[in-house]
Structure 1
Amino acid sequence: MKALVISDSHGYISNARIAIGLNPDVEIIIHLGDYYKDAVRLSELYPNIRFEFVSGNCDGNKDISTEKVLEIENNIIFITHGHNYSVKLNYKRILERAKAENAKLVLFGHTHVATIEKIDNILLLNPGSITQSRSRFSESYAILDINKNKIFSDILYF
C-alpha cells in the first residue's frame, strides 16, 4: 500500500494538493496534526482516498485524538503529532511508546524538520512540514510503500 504522509499544514492545503497530484496512486493519506481540519478538507476533495489523522498542539480540539495505532499490511504503525513525547528534545519517550505498541514504524511531526531514523529496529519518520519548513531544505512530505515484508520510505521536498 502506498501512503502519503504530511504534517503541520497550518491551514494551507495547496502544497498537499500538489503532493497528491504528483502521487495519484496513493491509497492512504496520513496527516500528523497541526490543523487536522486540513485533512478533513482534503478528504472531501479526494473522497476515494483513505485518510487518517491526529490532532496536534495547535489544534485545540480535545475530541480528536493526538495519537493512533494503525495496522497496514500486517505492520503496526504508531502515529502522533509528537508534542506529547518531547520529540524536539529526543526520541526516548516516543520510542518507548512504539515498543509498547509493538510498532515497526512511528510517524510524527511537530518539529517541522524532516527526518528518517531507525532505532532498535523501529523506523521513526517525520515528514517535516508541508507548509512551514524549519530545516535548511524546503517544505516536505513523505511517501511510504508498505508491504507485508518491508516498509520503504522517502522524503520529498518542494
Structure 2
Amino acid sequence: MRIVVISDSHRRTGVIDKILSAQSTASHVFFLGDNVGDIEDFEFLYPEKTFHSVCGNCDFYSTVPSVGLEVLEGVRIFYTHGHNYNVKYGTQRLLETAKANCYDIVLYGHTHIAKILYEDGIYIVNPGSCSNPREGKASYAVIDITKQGIMPIIIEV
C-alpha cells in the first residue's frame, strides 16, 4: 500500500494536482492542514483514492478535526497539523502521544521543514510544505506499507 502525505499548500493547488498525478498508485492521501479546503476538490478528481484531512492553524473556520487516526493494514497512523503539539520546538510531545497510544506512524506538518525520524519503533514524518518550504525545496512524503515493513521517503516537488 502506498500513502501520500501533503501539508501546508496555502492555496497553491496546482502542486497538489502534480503530486497526485505523479503518485497514481497511491491509495490513500493524508493532508495535514493549512488550507484544508485546497484538498477538497481533489477528492472528486481522484475518486480511486481515499482522503484523510486535518485542519491547521490557518484553517480558522474549518469543521475538519485537528487530529485523526487511521489503521491501514494493521499500521496505526496518527495525523495532525502539529501546531497544538508545539512541533516548532521539537517532536517530543508527538512521540509521547504515540507511545501512550501505541501508534506506529505519526504524521505532522506546520514547520514547513521535511523530516523523517525513527524513534522507539515509531516513525515520525513531516512532509514539509508542498508550496512554501522553509528549508530546501517544496516536498511531500510517500510511505509504503508492505509485508517487509514501513518505508517513508521525502520527495521534492
CA distance in 1, matches of 2:29, 2:35: 14
The alignment status of 1:16 with 2:16, answered yes or no, reads: yes
Does the CA-based 8 Å contact 1:78-1:101 persist in structure 2?
A: no
SS in 1 for 2:89: coil
Correspondence 1:1-158 to 2 at 5 A: 1-61=1-61, 63-135=63-135, 137-158=136-157
User: Identity across aligned pairs (percent)?
Assistant: 38
Contact 1:13/1:42 (<8 A) preserved? no
Indicate the SS of the match to 1:132. Answer: coil
Q: What SS is found at the alignment partner of 2:151?
A: strand
Following the alignment from structure 2 to structure 1, what is the Cα–Cα distance between the partners of residues 62 and 36? 12
The CA distance in 2 between the partners of 1:125 and 1:87, in whole Å, is 12
User: What is the TM-score when the length of structure 1 is the normalising length?
Assistant: 0.95
In 2, Cα distance between the equivalents of 1:67 and 1:148?
27
- Uncovered stretches (5+) of structure 1, i.e. residues with no partner: none
The 4+ residue runs of structure 1 with deviation greater than 3 A are none
Number of positions where the alignment pairs a residue of Structure 1 with one of Structure 2: 157
Distance in 1 (CA, whole Å) between partners of 2:61 and 2:68 is 15
Amino acid corresponding to residue 147 of structure 1 in structure 2: T
> TM-score, normalised on structure 2?
0.95
Query: C-alpha separation between the residues in 2 aligned to 1:7 and 1:37?
Result: 12
Deviation at 1:148, TM superposition (A): 5.0
Which region of structure 1 is more displaced relative to structure 2, 32-41 or 123-132? Answer: 32-41
Letter in structure 1 aligned against 2:85: Y
> Which amino acid letter does the alignment assign opposite residue 140 of structure 2?
Y
Q: In structure 1, what is the Cα distance between the partners aligned to 2:4 and 2:122?
A: 19
1:154 counterpart letter in structure 2:
I
Between the aligned partners of 1:26 and 1:141, the Cα distance in structure 2 is 13
